[in-house]
Amino acid sequence: MSLAPRTNYRHGDLRQALLAAGLDMAREGGPDAVVLREATRRAGVSPNAAYRHFADRTELVQAVSDAARARVAAAIEAEWDAVPSTLSAADAAHAHLRAVGRGYLGFARDEPGLFRAAFTVPRGPEAAFDPAEAGPRDRTSFQLLATALDELVAVGALPRERRSGAELSAWSAVHGLAMLVLEGPLRNLDREVARAAGARLIDMVDRGL
C-alpha cells in the first residue's frame, strides 16, 4: 500500500502565489521583510519549490518591487484623472504636476512598506519604462511625471531651457520627503504635519523648477 498519497503536486500558479505572499510581507515591513521560506509556507509548499520560479530570493524581491511600482503608477493615475477637465491648459499643466506629487506622497503615506519595496530595491534604470511596472493605462510613474512637465513647457510655465533634468529635480523632492518620513530621521512624523509639508514642498517645486 502507498502511505499518504501526495495531494498537491501541481500547484496551479505557484509563481503568482509566491509573489502575492511577497507583496503581503512587503506591505508590513518593507522589502527586508520578504522572506522566501515564509512565502512558500503561505503558499503551502516546500521551501525549495520557490527555486523553480525564482533563481534567488533577490529575484522574488525584485518581482515584488516591480508590482509595487505598478501600484504607485496606478495611484498617480488616479490623482491625475481627478483633475477637472474644465481647466485651462495652463492650469491643467500645474494641476497635473501637483497630482503626480500628491499621488506619489499619498502612496508613500498609505502603503509605506510597498513604497519602500518599490523604490529601495536594486533595479536597473531601464526599469523606468518596463511595462511590468506600469499602471492600468500602461504608463510608468516616471512617464506621467514627464508628461506633466511637457505640458508645463507647452503652456510656457516652464522655460524650455530648464526642461532637461526637471524630472530628476521634481522627483527628488517628493521622493526625499517620502523617505525622510518613512524610514528616515523624520519617521513617525505626525500625519497631518507630513501632509502639510507635502503641500509646501510641492509649492517649492512648482515655483522653483
Concatenate the DSSP letters of all residues of 135-173 into one string: -TTS--HHHHHHHHHHHHHHTTSS-GGGTTTHHHHHHHH
53 contacts which partner out of a second copy, DNA, none, CB within 5 to 8 A by kind? DNA
161 near a second copy, rule: CB under 8 A:
no
Q: How far is the CB of 59 from DNA (least distance, A)?
A: 8
Taking CB under 8 A as the rule, which mask of x and - marks residues 5-44 in contact with a second copy?
---------------------------x------------
49 contacts which partner out of DNA, a second copy, none, CB within 5 to 8 A by kind? DNA
Cα 167 to Cα 142: distance, rounded to the nearest angstrom: 8
Cα 130 to Cα 153: distance, rounded to the nearest angstrom: 26
Cα 72 to Cα 175: distance, rounded to the nearest angstrom: 12
Q: How far is the CB of 25 from DNA (least distance, A)?
A: 10
Q: Is 65 helix (H, G, I), strand (E, B) or coil?
A: helix
Which residues 6+ apart lie within 8 Å of 99 measured at CB?
Answer: 76, 79, 80, 82, 83, 148
Residues present in the chain in total: 209
Q: Considering beta carbons, is residue 22 or 101 the nearer one to a second copy?
A: 101
Cα 173 to Cα 158: distance, rounded to the nearest angstrom: 17
Task: Tell which one of 119, 145, 149, 151 touches a second copy (CB under 8 A).
Answer: 119
Cβ-based neighbour number of residue 178 at 10 Å: 24
Task: Tell which one of 35, 127, 153, 157 touches a second copy (CB under 8 A).
Answer: 127
Q: Which stretch binds DNA (CB under 7 A): 36-44, 71-79, 80-88, 143-151?
A: 36-44
Taking CB under 7 A as the rule, which mask of x and - marks residues 52-81 in contact with DNA?
xx--xxx-----------------------
186 near a second copy, rule: CB under 8 A:
yes
Where do contacts with DNA occur on this chain (CB under 7 A)?
2, 5-6, 8-11, 14, 34-38, 40, 45-49, 51-53, 56-58
